[in-house]
Structure 1
Amino acid sequence: MSFAKVYGFEGNPRTRVALVVAKYEGLDVEWVKTNPYAEGGVGAEYLAKFPLGLVPALEKGDYKLTEAIAIASYLASQENKAGLLGQSKEDAADVLRWASWANADLLPTIASWFRPLVGAAPYQKPQVDAAKEKSLKHLNYLEKTLATRTFLVGERITLADIFVASVLFRGFENVLDAEWRQANPNIVRFWQTVYHQPAFFEVLGNVEPTPVEKAVVYTPPKKEAKPKAEPAAPKPKPAAAPKPAAEEEEAPAAPKAKHPCEALGPAQSFPLDEFKRQYSNNDTPVAMKWLDEHYNANDYSISTTTSLPSITGLHTRLEASRKYLFGNMLVYGESNASKIIGIYMIRGNDWKSIFEVAPDYESYEFTMLDYKTDRELIEKVWSWEGEVEGLKCADGKTFK
């Protein structure tokens, strides 16, 4: 009889950690393959046990547990045969530090880098570039740390090594190519050492992993030509029934309200949709060079907005103005010392007509900018790079 059931899916680093730890502790766990990204999701039966639908999960009789670090720690603590939680309280704290870093920092940033490249998430070049830069910063820290040690905590393998090595798999499979590996020998040596441990290698199916030779690159999907539909034969109009003498004419339907920007007439020399494509598919300096050549201040203006409400919420409420608007809203600084700054290009120069479609627009402060005078600030915010008011960019959203 198995010790417990572990729910997760193949290739998932967090699932792999649980299975490796069980091997180290000699625990017979039943792996129930459960993929939240598959058609139909996890299913009603799973949600009845784990209402949040989180994967991986552990079930031992009536005991239910989610969160990868909690599951791995629970399995490692059963008999502590392998000492995966460290040899002292200080070791245990350090193990949890590395596991948390791998799970909450390294994995999401690497995933944000490679998933859009392989078509697993929408591709927006500025976000992918920002994720790549952040991932390389994390990995540089790891490379320096491993310059003087074999394992992350102490002289034996721990949960810290298992977590970090599992996360690195996703990078080696997609973006940490031969050139990168040559420049980071300590991480490569560490990764090979950990996955060649018997328990780890057994979970992999005793198959030698093959890192990617050249990092994957984004390839825009080809648009399929739609077949031309045969024109339908016109249907004969039925004869209108005579109206009773006393019948009144129906009032005509009220015309659909138009966006205020339509009063400006057709767009002149600047095609905003084309700039959005240039921004999405090129480095920001390339897109800005294109903008320099095509921008006409008579057609479009630049405005800033600063405030603290949710960025995603504002962009959702601006949907009605999408074809008249482009821009970034970014978070600068860090927790308890942050500022949100957005820079948008709008049709015309009446920012209120653009933003008042969002009911909470009055919560924001707006300032019109001059494209030539404020060019440096605009490029900083649109490229997610550099400091603004002495603060570095931490996160943000693009509206296009």
Structure 2
Amino acid sequence: MSAVKVYGFEGNPRTRAALVVAKYEGVDVEWVKVNPFAEGGVGADYLAKFPLGLVPALEKGDYKLTEALAIASYLAQDNKSGVLGASKEDAADALRWASWANADLLPSLAAWFRPLTGAAPYQKPAVEAAKAKAVKHLEYLEKALASRTFLVGERVTLADIFVASVLFRGFENVLDAEWRKANPNTVRYWQTVIHQQPFFEVLGKVEPTPVETAVVYTPPKKEAKLKADAPAAAAPKKEAKPAAKEEEDDEPAAEAPKAKHPCEALGKPASFPLDEWKRQYSNLETVDALKWLDSQYPAFTQDYSLWKVTYKYNDELTQVFMSSNLVGGLHARLEASRKYLFGSMGVYGKANDSLITGAYLLRGSDAHAVFEVAPDAESYSFEPLDWVKDREFITGAWTWEHTVDGKEYADGKVFK
């Protein structure tokens, strides 16, 4: 096979896997360093060749290829080193493990450690869920390795190259000394695979050093709490509770009454109930539902207000699905406000060039009273909307058919 170009960046497990396969097969590869996460992204020339901006990518003359598994399979097609196994069954099994590492293990590990390192927005429930998923995958691997040196057959295959490459990210960030002690099979396996000559050639003979203690999230200095355009009156300060006497220690403390939602004080709306609008939106085509809401204007503005909600840190967004998960997390934590709130938040743009914004209809005129039940609401800005003047934005947000700052709707979530 004549020389080929492989595009990617250092430390990227998918790029590393492609380069290691090339070393095993003796394929002459020119590595072109391209990092979509660096300032400026991949650049216009790269996008002209690979419109989705994905890495790794392969180029051989006029032939261009993306997707890590496809690239690795292409580089290994001669199977001179046996990385595709010794039989069709081996090849299928190797591909199965490589696919699992690429599509399951890597995303769960990344969703666990990237927010901890500041590479992605941090939402504790999302990180904990990712950790649980990653640990489950790793337990599966630990059991599989209890009785074998390599995952398929008696030598390194595509399976091991992908799994070991992905494990790097875990060992560099969260699979610390305590975890390694509890998972000796995986540690032994990883050390065996990465000490093969092709791995060392790609790594530059650098001895990997797993982290001793897992990284932890360090919150950045936060901006002041959400500021409303018309801030609600500050809650009166509570008097300090006197210290209890020793002889009263056995007396059970009275349970504090549960705080009421701020919107409860607004009473029953004089105009339509919000639930009726939600039914209209759910059961009709969106354009027809909007006509129904038109018929309620301006009456519904007596009890409800409209708001544009925008994520403050759009420059930190990376993959569209991760941004969509961010929106889903916000909506999950707005559960206490469900009967006071309706809206749709969208992700606009593409990977590493996107923004999050949406339109919401809520009870009352104080968006913060409704959104502050979600701890991550402070990561969003709030701007009042007018049903008439801002109708184009509201309609687009609720029908998912518009662009924002030149970016097309890519994904999103409805809260109803």
User: Shorter-chain TM-score: which interval?
Assistant: 0.5 to 0.7
- 1:24 paired residue number: 24
Residues 33, 105 of structure 1: alpha-carbon distance in 2 compared, 3 angstrom cutoff:
same
- 2:260 paired residue number: 297
DSSP-derived class of the 1:115 partner: helix
2:342 counterpart (355, 370, 375) = 355
- 1:229 paired residue number: none
Q: Which amino acid aligns with 2:198?
A: A
- Check the 8 A contact 2:344/2:414 in 1, yes or no: no
- Check the 8 A contact 1:96/1:160 in 2, yes or no: yes
Residues 321, 27 of structure 1: alpha-carbon distance in 2 compared, 3 angstrom cutoff:
closer
Separation in structure 1 between the aligned mates of residue 21 and residue 88 of structure 2, nearest angstrom: 20
- Check the 8 A contact 1:328/1:344 in 2, yes or no: no
Q: CA deviation at 1:350?
A: 6.0
- CA deviations over 1:116-155 (Å, ceiling 9, x no partner): 1111001111111111111000000000000011110111
- Check the 8 A contact 1:102/1:164 in 2, yes or no: yes
Separation in structure 1 between the aligned mates of residue 21 and residue 39 of structure 2, nearest angstrom: 29
- 2:366 paired residue number: none
Q: CA deviation at 1:52?
A: 1.1
Separation in structure 2 between the aligned mates of residue 161 and residue 62 of structure 1, nearest angstrom: 31
Q: CA deviation at 1:342?
A: 7.9
Q: CA deviation at 1:224?
A: 9.4
- 1:10 paired residue number: 10
Residues 155, 219 of structure 1: alpha-carbon distance in 2 compared, 3 angstrom cutoff:
same
- 1:62 paired residue number: 62
Q: Percent identity?
A: 69
Residues 308, 10 of structure 1: alpha-carbon distance in 2 compared, 3 angstrom cutoff:
farther
Residues 350, 115 of structure 1: alpha-carbon distance in 2 compared, 3 angstrom cutoff:
closer
Separation in structure 2 between the aligned mates of residue 184 and residue 295 of structure 1, nearest angstrom: 44
Residues 59, 151 of structure 1: alpha-carbon distance in 2 compared, 3 angstrom cutoff:
same
Separation in structure 1 between the aligned mates of residue 197 and residue 123 of structure 2, nearest angstrom: 40
Residues 123, 63 of structure 1: alpha-carbon distance in 2 compared, 3 angstrom cutoff:
same
- 1:141 paired residue number: 140
Q: Which amino acid aligns with 1:145?
A: A
DSSP-derived class of the 1:355 partner: strand
Separation in structure 2 between the aligned mates of residue 319 and residue 55 of structure 1, nearest angstrom: 38
Q: Which amino acid aligns with 1:320?
A: K
- Residue 345 in structure 1 maps to residue 339 in structure 2: no
Q: CA deviation at 1:320?
A: 3.5
- 1:181 paired residue number: 180
Q: CA deviation at 1:156?
A: 1.2
- Check the 8 A contact 1:7/1:34 in 2, yes or no: yes
- 1:157 paired residue number: 156
Q: Is 62-71 or 213-222 further displaced after alignment?
A: 213-222
Q: CA deviation at 1:102?
A: 0.3
Separation in structure 2 between the aligned mates of residue 125 and residue 342 of structure 1, nearest angstrom: 12
Q: Which amino acid aligns with 2:101?
A: A
- Residue 320 in structure 1 maps to residue 283 in structure 2: no
Separation in structure 1 between the aligned mates of residue 152 and residue 122 of structure 2, nearest angstrom: 37
Q: Which amino acid aligns with 1:115?
A: R
Describe how 1:190-339 pairs up with structure 2 within 5 A.
190-222=189-221, 266=233, 268=235, 295-297=258-260, 299=262, 320=308
User: Can you give the 5+ residue segments of structure 2 that lack an aligned partner in the other structure?
Assistant: 238-254, 265-273, 284-305, 312-325, 346-357, 362-372, 374-411
Structure 2 length normalisation: TM-score? 0.60
Q: CA deviation at 1:357?
A: 8.0
Separation in structure 2 between the aligned mates of residue 308 and residue 141 of structure 1, nearest angstrom: 41
- 1:107 paired residue number: 106
Q: Which amino acid aligns with 1:296?
A: A
Separation in structure 2 between the aligned mates of residue 131 and residue 293 of structure 1, nearest angstrom: 34
DSSP-derived class of the 1:45 partner: helix
Q: CA deviation at 1:158?
A: 0.2
- CA deviations over 1:157-188 (Å, ceiling 9, x no partner): 10000000000000000000000000000000
Separation in structure 2 between the aligned mates of residue 112 and residue 342 of structure 1, nearest angstrom: 19
Q: Which amino acid aligns with 1:90?
A: E
Separation in structure 2 between the aligned mates of residue 46 and residue 356 of structure 1, nearest angstrom: 37
Give the aligned CA root-mean-square deviation in angstroms: 4.0
Q: Which amino acid aligns with 2:139?
A: N
DSSP-derived class of the 2:116 partner: coil
Describe how 1:122-133 pairs up with structure 2 within 5 A.
122-133=121-132
Residues 296, 320 of structure 1: alpha-carbon distance in 2 compared, 3 angstrom cutoff:
farther
- Check the 8 A contact 2:7/2:55 in 1, yes or no: yes
Separation in structure 1 between the aligned mates of residue 327 and residue 87 of structure 2, nearest angstrom: 47
- CA deviations over 1:358-378 (Å, ceiling 9, x no partner): 89989xxxxxxxxxxxxxxx9
Separation in structure 1 between the aligned mates of residue 48 and residue 152 of structure 2, nearest angstrom: 38
User: Can you give the 5+ residue segments of structure 1 that lack an aligned partner in the other structure?
Assistant: 226-257, 271-291, 310-317, 331-339, 363-377, 379-395
Residues 2, 398 of structure 1: alpha-carbon distance in 2 compared, 3 angstrom cutoff:
same
Separation in structure 1 between the aligned mates of residue 339 and residue 234 of structure 2, nearest angstrom: 15
Q: CA deviation at 1:298?
A: 5.3
Q: CA deviation at 1:23?
A: 0.6
- 2:75 paired residue number: 75
Separation in structure 2 between the aligned mates of residue 296 and residue 161 of structure 1, nearest angstrom: 54
DSSP-derived class of the 2:58 partner: strand
